[in-house]
Amino acid sequence: MQFENSKTFAQKLDAEDPLKECRNRFHHPKLNGKTATYFCGNSLGLEPKTAKEFVNQELDDWAEFAVEGHFHAKTPWFSYQDIFPEPLSKLVGALPKEVSVMNGLTVNLHLLLVSFYNPRGKRFKIICEAKAFPSDQYALESQVKFHGYEPEEAIIEIAPRKGEDLIREEDILKAIAETGDELALVMFGGVNYYTGQVFDIRTITTAGHAVGAQIGFDLAHGAGNIPLQLHDWNVDFACWCSYKYLNSGPGNVSGIFVHERHCNNPELHRFAGWWGNDPDERFKMEPGFHPAEGARGWQLSNVPVFGMAVHKSALDIHAEVGMDKLREKSLKLTGYLEFLLDDLNTKDVRIITPRDPSKRGCQLSLYVDKEAKKLHQALLNEGVITDYREPNVIRLAPVPLYNSFEDVWTFVDVLRRHLG
Protein backbone atom coordinates (compact mmCIF):
# COMPACT_ATOMS: atom_id res chain seq x y z
CA MET A 1 0.00 0.00 0.00
CA GLN A 2 1.14 3.54 -0.76
CA PHE A 3 0.83 5.49 2.50
CA GLU A 4 0.26 9.24 2.80
CA ASN A 5 1.22 11.56 5.63
CA SER A 6 -2.07 13.27 6.34
CA LYS A 7 -4.85 13.11 8.89
CA THR A 8 -7.37 12.70 6.06
CA PHE A 9 -5.56 9.61 4.79
CA ALA A 10 -5.43 8.11 8.29
CA GLN A 11 -9.17 8.70 8.66
CA LYS A 12 -9.72 7.03 5.28
CA LEU A 13 -7.83 3.93 6.47
CA ASP A 14 -10.00 3.88 9.59
CA ALA A 15 -13.19 4.11 7.56
CA GLU A 16 -12.06 1.10 5.51
CA ASP A 17 -10.89 -0.92 8.54
CA PRO A 18 -13.00 -4.08 9.00
CA LEU A 19 -12.11 -4.08 12.73
CA LYS A 20 -12.97 -0.43 13.37
CA GLU A 21 -15.94 -1.26 15.61
CA CYS A 22 -13.72 -3.27 17.99
CA ARG A 23 -12.33 0.01 19.31
CA ASN A 24 -15.72 0.75 20.86
CA ARG A 25 -15.65 -2.47 22.89
CA PHE A 26 -12.98 -1.08 25.22
CA HIS A 27 -12.79 1.75 27.74
CA HIS A 28 -10.24 4.40 26.69
CA PRO A 29 -8.44 6.41 29.40
CA LYS A 30 -8.81 10.17 29.72
CA LEU A 31 -6.16 12.78 30.41
CA ASN A 32 -7.07 16.38 31.18
CA GLY A 33 -10.69 15.58 30.46
CA LYS A 34 -10.03 14.27 26.94
CA THR A 35 -9.75 10.75 25.54
CA ALA A 36 -6.08 9.82 25.50
CA THR A 37 -4.15 8.38 22.58
CA TYR A 38 -3.07 5.07 24.11
CA PHE A 39 -0.01 3.13 22.93
CA CYS A 40 0.76 1.17 26.11
CA GLY A 41 -1.04 -2.10 25.38
CA ASN A 42 2.32 -3.87 25.52
CA SER A 43 2.32 -3.03 29.24
CA LEU A 44 -1.38 -3.05 30.13
CA GLY A 45 -4.21 -3.63 27.67
CA LEU A 46 -7.42 -1.64 27.83
CA GLU A 47 -10.45 -2.83 29.78
CA PRO A 48 -13.21 -4.58 27.81
CA LYS A 49 -16.57 -2.92 28.42
CA THR A 50 -18.03 -6.35 29.22
CA ALA A 51 -15.55 -6.97 32.07
CA LYS A 52 -17.77 -5.41 34.75
CA GLU A 53 -20.76 -7.49 33.62
CA PHE A 54 -18.73 -10.69 33.84
CA VAL A 55 -17.38 -9.88 37.32
CA ASN A 56 -20.82 -8.80 38.54
CA GLN A 57 -22.19 -12.17 37.47
CA GLU A 58 -19.72 -13.90 39.78
CA LEU A 59 -20.47 -11.48 42.61
CA ASP A 60 -24.18 -12.18 42.19
CA ASP A 61 -23.57 -15.93 42.15
CA TRP A 62 -21.42 -15.65 45.28
CA ALA A 63 -24.20 -13.71 47.01
CA GLU A 64 -26.86 -16.20 45.97
CA PHE A 65 -25.07 -19.52 46.31
CA ALA A 66 -22.04 -18.95 48.57
CA VAL A 67 -19.98 -22.17 48.57
CA GLU A 68 -22.54 -23.91 46.33
CA GLY A 69 -21.43 -21.56 43.57
CA HIS A 70 -18.68 -24.09 42.89
CA PHE A 71 -21.41 -26.21 41.31
CA HIS A 72 -24.45 -23.94 40.76
CA ALA A 73 -23.02 -20.62 39.55
CA LYS A 74 -23.82 -19.70 35.95
CA THR A 75 -20.29 -20.81 35.16
CA PRO A 76 -19.53 -23.31 37.96
CA TRP A 77 -16.35 -22.37 39.79
CA PHE A 78 -15.20 -25.96 40.22
CA SER A 79 -14.57 -26.25 36.47
CA TYR A 80 -14.11 -22.56 35.62
CA GLN A 81 -10.62 -23.06 34.23
CA ASP A 82 -11.99 -25.57 31.72
CA ILE A 83 -13.64 -22.84 29.63
CA PHE A 84 -10.24 -21.50 28.53
CA PRO A 85 -8.34 -24.27 26.72
CA GLU A 86 -10.41 -24.06 23.53
CA PRO A 87 -10.00 -20.30 22.82
CA LEU A 88 -6.44 -20.18 24.17
CA SER A 89 -5.35 -23.15 22.07
CA LYS A 90 -6.37 -21.25 18.94
CA LEU A 91 -4.45 -18.15 20.05
CA VAL A 92 -1.18 -19.97 20.66
CA GLY A 93 -1.44 -22.83 18.17
CA ALA A 94 -1.86 -25.71 20.61
CA LEU A 95 -4.07 -28.65 21.38
CA PRO A 96 -6.67 -27.78 24.03
CA LYS A 97 -5.15 -30.25 26.49
CA GLU A 98 -1.75 -28.55 26.15
CA VAL A 99 -2.87 -25.24 27.72
CA SER A 100 -4.22 -24.10 31.05
CA VAL A 101 -4.75 -20.88 33.03
CA MET A 102 -3.47 -20.35 36.56
CA ASN A 103 -1.28 -18.25 38.89
CA GLY A 104 0.88 -15.34 37.72
CA LEU A 105 3.44 -15.39 34.93
CA THR A 106 6.65 -15.72 36.97
CA VAL A 107 5.06 -18.28 39.29
CA ASN A 108 4.24 -20.38 36.24
CA LEU A 109 7.70 -19.91 34.80
CA HIS A 110 9.22 -21.27 38.01
CA LEU A 111 6.81 -24.22 38.05
CA LEU A 112 7.71 -25.07 34.46
CA LEU A 113 11.43 -24.73 35.15
CA VAL A 114 11.04 -27.28 37.94
CA SER A 115 9.92 -29.70 35.24
CA PHE A 116 12.14 -28.67 32.35
CA TYR A 117 15.42 -27.50 33.88
CA ASN A 118 16.99 -30.63 35.29
CA PRO A 119 20.78 -30.24 35.08
CA ARG A 120 22.80 -33.43 35.21
CA GLY A 121 26.56 -33.91 34.96
CA LYS A 122 28.02 -31.53 32.44
CA ARG A 123 24.59 -30.70 30.96
CA PHE A 124 23.64 -27.73 33.12
CA LYS A 125 23.88 -24.60 30.98
CA ILE A 126 21.08 -22.27 29.90
CA ILE A 127 21.03 -20.03 26.83
CA CYS A 128 18.85 -16.93 26.95
CA GLU A 129 18.69 -13.49 25.39
CA ALA A 130 20.63 -10.60 26.90
CA LYS A 131 18.35 -7.90 28.30
CA ALA A 132 15.52 -10.34 28.86
CA PHE A 133 12.72 -9.02 31.05
CA PRO A 134 14.07 -8.86 34.64
CA SER A 135 11.65 -11.49 36.00
CA ASP A 136 13.02 -14.00 33.49
CA GLN A 137 16.57 -13.16 34.49
CA TYR A 138 15.76 -13.53 38.18
CA ALA A 139 13.92 -16.79 37.62
CA LEU A 140 16.83 -18.33 35.71
CA GLU A 141 19.42 -17.05 38.19
CA SER A 142 17.53 -18.43 41.19
CA GLN A 143 16.83 -21.78 39.53
CA VAL A 144 20.51 -22.16 38.67
CA LYS A 145 21.53 -21.36 42.25
CA PHE A 146 18.90 -23.77 43.59
CA HIS A 147 20.68 -26.54 41.69
CA GLY A 148 24.06 -25.52 43.09
CA TYR A 149 25.53 -23.66 40.12
CA GLU A 150 26.77 -20.10 39.68
CA PRO A 151 24.82 -17.99 37.17
CA GLU A 152 28.05 -16.65 35.66
CA GLU A 153 29.02 -20.22 34.74
CA ALA A 154 25.64 -21.66 33.88
CA ILE A 155 23.83 -18.86 32.00
CA ILE A 156 24.94 -17.85 28.51
CA GLU A 157 23.39 -14.59 27.32
CA ILE A 158 23.20 -13.84 23.61
CA ALA A 159 23.53 -10.10 23.01
CA PRO A 160 23.46 -7.88 19.94
CA ARG A 161 26.83 -7.39 18.32
CA LYS A 162 28.72 -4.22 19.15
CA GLY A 163 27.03 -1.22 17.55
CA GLU A 164 23.81 -3.16 16.79
CA ASP A 165 20.41 -3.13 18.49
CA LEU A 166 19.13 -6.60 17.62
CA ILE A 167 20.27 -10.15 18.29
CA ARG A 168 21.28 -12.02 15.17
CA GLU A 169 19.62 -15.39 14.73
CA GLU A 170 22.90 -16.86 13.50
CA ASP A 171 24.51 -15.97 16.84
CA ILE A 172 21.77 -17.81 18.75
CA LEU A 173 22.15 -20.92 16.60
CA LYS A 174 25.95 -20.79 16.84
CA ALA A 175 25.82 -20.61 20.65
CA ILE A 176 23.43 -23.59 20.78
CA ALA A 177 25.65 -25.67 18.54
CA GLU A 178 28.85 -24.74 20.38
CA THR A 179 27.37 -25.43 23.83
CA GLY A 180 26.19 -28.80 22.58
CA ASP A 181 25.91 -31.53 25.19
CA GLU A 182 26.48 -29.01 28.00
CA LEU A 183 23.18 -27.31 27.17
CA ALA A 184 20.21 -28.18 29.38
CA LEU A 185 17.78 -25.42 28.43
CA VAL A 186 17.12 -22.67 25.91
CA MET A 187 14.78 -20.04 27.39
CA PHE A 188 13.89 -16.97 25.34
CA GLY A 189 11.22 -14.34 25.30
CA GLY A 190 9.21 -14.94 22.14
CA VAL A 191 9.24 -11.15 21.64
CA ASN A 192 11.92 -9.09 23.33
CA TYR A 193 10.16 -6.59 25.60
CA TYR A 194 12.71 -3.82 24.98
CA THR A 195 13.29 -3.87 21.23
CA GLY A 196 10.14 -5.65 20.08
CA GLN A 197 12.23 -8.20 18.16
CA VAL A 198 10.38 -11.44 17.39
CA PHE A 199 12.60 -14.51 17.66
CA ASP A 200 12.30 -17.45 15.28
CA ILE A 201 10.69 -19.87 17.72
CA ARG A 202 10.58 -22.82 15.34
CA THR A 203 14.24 -22.54 14.27
CA ILE A 204 15.50 -22.04 17.84
CA THR A 205 13.45 -25.02 19.03
CA THR A 206 14.75 -27.29 16.28
CA ALA A 207 18.36 -26.27 16.96
CA GLY A 208 18.02 -26.79 20.71
CA HIS A 209 16.46 -30.21 20.33
CA ALA A 210 19.26 -31.22 17.97
CA VAL A 211 21.74 -30.99 20.87
CA GLY A 212 19.41 -32.59 23.41
CA ALA A 213 18.19 -29.46 25.24
CA GLN A 214 14.70 -28.52 26.41
CA ILE A 215 13.17 -25.39 24.87
CA GLY A 216 10.84 -22.87 26.51
CA PHE A 217 9.52 -19.38 25.83
CA ASP A 218 8.11 -16.50 27.83
CA LEU A 219 5.33 -15.23 25.57
CA ALA A 220 4.23 -12.26 27.67
CA HIS A 221 4.71 -10.06 24.60
CA GLY A 222 3.73 -12.75 22.12
CA ALA A 223 0.33 -14.14 23.13
CA GLY A 224 -2.38 -12.18 21.37
CA ASN A 225 0.24 -10.21 19.42
CA ILE A 226 1.95 -12.54 16.92
CA PRO A 227 0.84 -15.76 15.21
CA LEU A 228 1.98 -18.81 17.19
CA GLN A 229 2.03 -22.53 16.44
CA LEU A 230 3.55 -23.93 19.61
CA HIS A 231 2.44 -27.51 19.04
CA ASP A 232 3.63 -27.73 15.44
CA TRP A 233 6.88 -25.95 16.29
CA ASN A 234 7.53 -28.66 18.89
CA VAL A 235 8.14 -26.22 21.76
CA ASP A 236 8.51 -28.02 25.10
CA PHE A 237 6.86 -25.39 27.28
CA ALA A 238 5.75 -21.76 27.33
CA CYS A 239 3.93 -19.31 29.58
CA TRP A 240 2.41 -15.87 29.16
CA CYS A 241 0.51 -13.20 31.07
CA SER A 242 -3.01 -12.07 30.22
CA TYR A 243 -2.82 -8.35 30.98
CA LYS A 244 -0.95 -7.04 27.94
CA TYR A 245 -2.30 -7.99 24.52
CA LEU A 246 -4.96 -10.23 26.09
CA ASN A 247 -6.60 -7.27 27.89
CA SER A 248 -7.50 -9.12 31.09
CA GLY A 249 -6.59 -6.60 33.77
CA PRO A 250 -3.56 -5.64 35.88
CA GLY A 251 -1.62 -8.61 37.27
CA ASN A 252 -4.23 -11.10 36.08
CA VAL A 253 -3.81 -14.81 35.55
CA SER A 254 -1.20 -16.48 33.38
CA GLY A 255 -1.44 -19.17 30.74
CA ILE A 256 0.84 -22.15 30.23
CA PHE A 257 1.62 -24.53 27.38
CA VAL A 258 3.11 -27.99 27.84
CA HIS A 259 3.61 -30.07 24.70
CA GLU A 260 1.49 -33.21 24.64
CA ARG A 261 4.56 -35.48 24.67
CA HIS A 262 5.29 -34.20 28.19
CA CYS A 263 1.76 -33.81 29.47
CA ASN A 264 1.41 -37.19 31.11
CA ASN A 265 5.06 -38.04 31.65
CA PRO A 266 5.37 -39.35 35.24
CA GLU A 267 9.16 -38.94 35.13
CA LEU A 268 8.97 -35.15 35.01
CA HIS A 269 9.55 -33.35 38.29
CA ARG A 270 6.73 -31.02 39.25
CA PHE A 271 5.48 -29.15 42.29
CA ALA A 272 2.02 -30.54 42.94
CA GLY A 273 -1.13 -28.86 44.20
CA TRP A 274 -4.72 -29.85 44.91
CA TRP A 275 -6.16 -28.35 41.72
CA GLY A 276 -3.63 -30.19 39.58
CA ASN A 277 -4.79 -33.54 40.90
CA ASP A 278 -7.10 -35.78 38.88
CA PRO A 279 -10.51 -34.06 39.28
CA ASP A 280 -12.20 -37.45 39.72
CA GLU A 281 -10.07 -38.03 42.82
CA ARG A 282 -9.76 -34.46 44.08
CA PHE A 283 -12.44 -34.62 46.73
CA LYS A 284 -11.38 -37.98 48.07
CA MET A 285 -8.83 -35.89 49.99
CA GLU A 286 -6.27 -38.69 49.99
CA PRO A 287 -2.46 -38.53 49.85
CA GLY A 288 -0.69 -39.41 46.64
CA PHE A 289 -0.71 -36.94 43.75
CA HIS A 290 -2.21 -38.18 40.46
CA PRO A 291 -1.94 -35.34 37.93
CA ALA A 292 -4.87 -34.31 35.81
CA GLU A 293 -4.46 -34.92 32.11
CA GLY A 294 -2.46 -32.43 30.11
CA ALA A 295 -1.35 -28.98 31.20
CA ARG A 296 -4.02 -29.00 33.92
CA GLY A 297 -1.69 -31.26 35.88
CA TRP A 298 0.54 -28.23 36.61
CA GLN A 299 -2.29 -26.35 38.37
CA LEU A 300 -1.84 -25.69 42.08
CA SER A 301 -4.73 -23.83 43.68
CA ASN A 302 -8.41 -23.44 42.99
CA VAL A 303 -9.48 -20.77 40.54
CA PRO A 304 -9.36 -16.99 41.28
CA VAL A 305 -12.81 -16.57 39.77
CA PHE A 306 -13.05 -12.76 39.62
CA GLY A 307 -9.81 -12.47 37.65
CA MET A 308 -10.84 -15.38 35.46
CA ALA A 309 -14.14 -13.62 34.71
CA VAL A 310 -12.31 -10.61 33.28
CA HIS A 311 -10.06 -12.95 31.32
CA LYS A 312 -13.12 -14.60 29.82
CA SER A 313 -14.63 -11.26 28.81
CA ALA A 314 -11.43 -10.40 26.91
CA LEU A 315 -10.88 -13.80 25.34
CA ASP A 316 -14.42 -13.79 23.98
CA ILE A 317 -13.45 -10.75 21.88
CA HIS A 318 -10.21 -12.36 20.71
CA ALA A 319 -12.03 -15.56 19.79
CA GLU A 320 -14.60 -13.62 17.80
CA VAL A 321 -12.02 -11.59 15.85
CA GLY A 322 -9.28 -14.22 15.44
CA MET A 323 -5.51 -13.86 15.17
CA ASP A 324 -5.48 -13.75 11.35
CA LYS A 325 -7.49 -10.52 11.24
CA LEU A 326 -5.59 -9.04 14.16
CA ARG A 327 -2.27 -9.77 12.49
CA GLU A 328 -3.41 -8.30 9.19
CA LYS A 329 -4.35 -5.01 10.83
CA SER A 330 -1.27 -5.04 13.06
CA LEU A 331 1.03 -5.18 10.06
CA LYS A 332 -0.79 -2.26 8.50
CA LEU A 333 -0.78 -0.15 11.67
CA THR A 334 2.92 -0.63 12.38
CA GLY A 335 3.70 -0.15 8.70
CA TYR A 336 1.93 3.20 8.75
CA LEU A 337 3.67 4.19 12.00
CA GLU A 338 7.03 3.27 10.51
CA PHE A 339 6.27 5.32 7.37
CA LEU A 340 5.31 8.40 9.38
CA LEU A 341 8.35 8.14 11.64
CA ASP A 342 10.66 7.84 8.65
CA ASP A 343 8.96 10.90 7.15
CA LEU A 344 10.10 12.93 10.17
CA ASN A 345 13.59 12.75 8.66
CA THR A 346 15.29 13.31 12.00
CA LYS A 347 18.42 11.91 13.61
CA ASP A 348 17.04 12.53 17.11
CA VAL A 349 14.81 9.44 17.02
CA ARG A 350 15.38 6.09 15.34
CA ILE A 351 13.49 2.81 15.27
CA ILE A 352 15.38 -0.07 16.91
CA THR A 353 12.69 -2.67 16.21
CA PRO A 354 13.27 -4.89 13.13
CA ARG A 355 12.27 -3.33 9.85
CA ASP A 356 11.18 -6.73 8.55
CA PRO A 357 7.46 -6.97 9.50
CA SER A 358 7.78 -10.73 10.03
CA LYS A 359 10.35 -10.05 12.77
CA ARG A 360 8.13 -7.80 14.88
CA GLY A 361 4.67 -7.64 16.40
CA CYS A 362 2.73 -4.43 16.98
CA GLN A 363 5.48 -2.75 19.01
CA LEU A 364 7.96 -0.23 17.65
CA SER A 365 10.69 0.92 20.04
CA LEU A 366 12.26 4.32 19.52
CA TYR A 367 15.79 5.17 20.56
CA VAL A 368 15.74 8.85 21.54
CA ASP A 369 19.13 10.48 21.20
CA LYS A 370 18.68 12.92 24.08
CA GLU A 371 16.25 13.64 26.93
CA ALA A 372 14.03 10.64 26.21
CA LYS A 373 12.33 10.84 29.60
CA LYS A 374 11.53 14.51 29.09
CA LEU A 375 10.06 13.73 25.67
CA HIS A 376 7.96 10.92 27.14
CA GLN A 377 6.53 13.34 29.72
CA ALA A 378 5.85 15.97 27.05
CA LEU A 379 3.85 13.41 25.06
CA LEU A 380 1.92 12.48 28.20
CA ASN A 381 1.14 16.13 28.85
CA GLU A 382 -0.51 16.23 25.43
CA GLY A 383 -2.62 13.15 26.06
CA VAL A 384 -0.38 10.56 24.35
CA ILE A 385 0.39 7.59 26.60
CA THR A 386 3.57 5.72 25.67
CA ASP A 387 5.99 3.59 27.68
CA TYR A 388 9.45 4.80 28.71
CA ARG A 389 12.28 2.37 29.47
CA GLU A 390 15.71 3.29 30.76
CA PRO A 391 17.99 4.61 29.56
CA ASN A 392 16.50 6.21 26.43
CA VAL A 393 13.79 4.12 24.76
CA ILE A 394 10.13 4.96 24.17
CA ARG A 395 8.02 1.91 23.33
CA LEU A 396 4.86 2.21 21.21
CA ALA A 397 2.24 -0.48 20.69
CA PRO A 398 -0.57 0.34 18.26
CA VAL A 399 -2.85 -2.57 19.21
CA PRO A 400 -5.16 -3.69 16.38
CA LEU A 401 -8.13 -4.38 18.66
CA TYR A 402 -8.51 -0.78 19.77
CA ASN A 403 -5.97 1.56 18.17
CA SER A 404 -6.78 3.49 15.01
CA PHE A 405 -4.72 4.86 12.13
CA GLU A 406 -5.67 8.33 13.30
CA ASP A 407 -4.11 7.46 16.69
CA VAL A 408 -0.88 6.71 14.86
CA TRP A 409 -1.01 9.94 12.88
CA THR A 410 -1.79 11.95 16.03
CA PHE A 411 1.20 10.52 17.89
CA VAL A 412 3.66 11.36 15.12
CA ASP A 413 2.17 14.83 14.70
CA VAL A 414 2.68 15.54 18.42
CA LEU A 415 6.16 14.02 18.29
CA ARG A 416 7.11 16.21 15.34
CA ARG A 417 6.20 19.37 17.23
CA HIS A 418 8.29 18.38 20.25
CA LEU A 419 11.31 17.42 18.19
CA GLY A 420 11.27 20.93 16.74
User: Rounded to an integer, what distance in angstroms lies between the CA atom of residue 296 and that of residue 277?
Assistant: 8
- Please, what sign has the CA dihedral across residues 93, 272, 206, 397? positive
Q: Which among 131, 159, 154, 129 is positioned nearest to 141, based on CA atoms?
A: 154
Distance CA 396, CA 38 (A): 9
Say yes or no to pLDDT of 420 above 80: no
Question: What is the mean predicted confidence (pLDDT) over 359-378?
Answer: 94
pLDDT band at 203 (very low <50, low <70, confident <90, very high): very high
> Per-residue confidence at 370, pLDDT binned at 50, 70, 90?
confident
Residues in the chain: 420
CA angle, 262 then 267 then 273, to 5°? 80
Domain 7-47+322-419 identical in fold to domain 55-319: no
What secondary structure does DSSP assign to 68-105, as a single string?
A: GHHHHSSS-GGGGGGGSHHHHHHHHT--GGGEEEES-H
Question: How do the domains of the chain map onto residue ranges?
Answer: 7-47+322-419, 55-319
Question: Would you state the pLDDT for residue 94?
Answer: 98
Which is it for the CA torsion 10, 13, 15, 21, positive or negative? negative
For residue 328, pLDDT beyond 80: yes
Confidence of residue 1 (pLDDT cuts 50, 70, 90): confident
Q: What is the mean pLDDT of residues 302-329?
A: 97
**Under CATH, what is the fold of the domain 55-319?**
Aspartate Aminotransferase; domain 2 (3.40.640)
CATH architecture, domain 7-47+322-419: Alpha-Beta Complex (3.90)
Q: What is the pLDDT of residues 211-255, one digit of tens each?
A: 999 999 999 999 999 999 999 999 999 999 999 999 999 999 999
The pTM is what?
A: 0.96
113 Cβ contact partners less than 8 Å away, ≥ 6 residues apart: 139, 140, 143, 185, 187, 216
Q: Report the run of H or E that residue 125 belongs to, with start and end.
A: strand 125-129
Whether residue 25 is predicted with pLDDT greater than 80 in this model: the reply is yes
pLDDT for residue 267 is more than 90: no
The answer on pLDDT for 281 being more than 90 is: no
